């Protein structure tokens, strides 16, 4: 028998976890595909380089380049390992978001389904947040190229995404903690009263 507090916890917690995971995934996807990880701003040229997309402006004319063109030369050097970590984090984040929806749907369909979906959510979301943060740490610790450029601002999106994904994984632990043995609180109080009476 589910207690009222447990039902209220599930009613509030599951939509929050799905929303936080979704926002974290959107931030992670934006961080992965926007071209502002490294910026070179000269008087005549402007480069914004990302993992899969770059923008090159020369005398006011801008050209977009997708992976396989100029971005590939940058990935061979500066950003390749960070790009790999962030891509794996996005894959785990997508799987975590899908399992968060499955977890919300399965919350009333039996203990076994509920436990399996919660375990899958936790096993996907925790590495997604952790890898997003590790990718940001690796990016910040990399030495800047000697071309006169600066680090961009896209790493902030990945940093926020990692924090949100870790937060959603930890929030789901609130549900896990509240899943003790099913008992009726009134019967438990009566048992405690009768067993401790002298």
Whole-prediction pTM value?
0.77
pLDDT digit string (tens) for 22-59?
999 999 999 888 888 877 777 777 878 778 787 878 87
Under a CB-based contact definition with an 8 Å cutoff, are residues 171 and 20 in contact?
A: yes
pLDDT digit string (tens) for 120-152?
888 999 999 999 999 888 888 875 555 555 777
pLDDT digit string (tens) for 157-184?
999 999 999 999 888 877 655 454 444 4
For the chain, the structural domain boundaries read: 14-34+79-177
State the pLDDT at residue 143. Answer: 59
State the pLDDT at residue 175. Answer: 63
Cα distances (angstroms) measured from residue 70 to each of 67, 86, 88, 174: 7, 20, 22, 46
Question: By mean pLDDT, which of 10-24, 70-84, 104-118, 179-193 is the weakest?
Answer: 179-193
Cα distances (angstroms) measured from residue 50 to each of 17, 37, 143: 29, 5, 16
């Amino acid at each position: 028998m589910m207690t009222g507090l447990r039902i209220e916890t599930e009613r509030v917690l599951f939509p929050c976890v799905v929303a936080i995971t979704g926002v974290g995934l959107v931030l992670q996807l934006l961080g992965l595909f926007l071209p502002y990880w490294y910026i070179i701003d000269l008087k005549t040229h402007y480069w914004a380089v990302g993992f899969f997309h770059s923008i090159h402006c020369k005398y006011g004319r801008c050209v977009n380049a997708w992976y396989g063109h100029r971005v590939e030369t940058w990935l061979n050097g500066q950003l390749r390992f960070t790009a790999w970590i962030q891509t794996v984090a996005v894959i785990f984040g997508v799987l975590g978001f899908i399992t968060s929806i499955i977890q919300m749907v399965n919350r009333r369909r039996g203990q076994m389904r509920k436990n399996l979906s919660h375990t899958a959510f936790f096993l996907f979301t925790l590495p997604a947040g952790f890898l997003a943060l590790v990718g940001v740490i690796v990016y910040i610790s990399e030495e800047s190229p000697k071309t006169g450029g600066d680090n961009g601002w896209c790493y902030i999106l990945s940093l926020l995404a990692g924090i949100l994904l870790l937060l959603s994984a930890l929030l789901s632990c609130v549900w896990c903690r509240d899943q003790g043995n099913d008992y009726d609180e009134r019967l438990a109080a009566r048992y405690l009263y009768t067993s401790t009476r002298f």
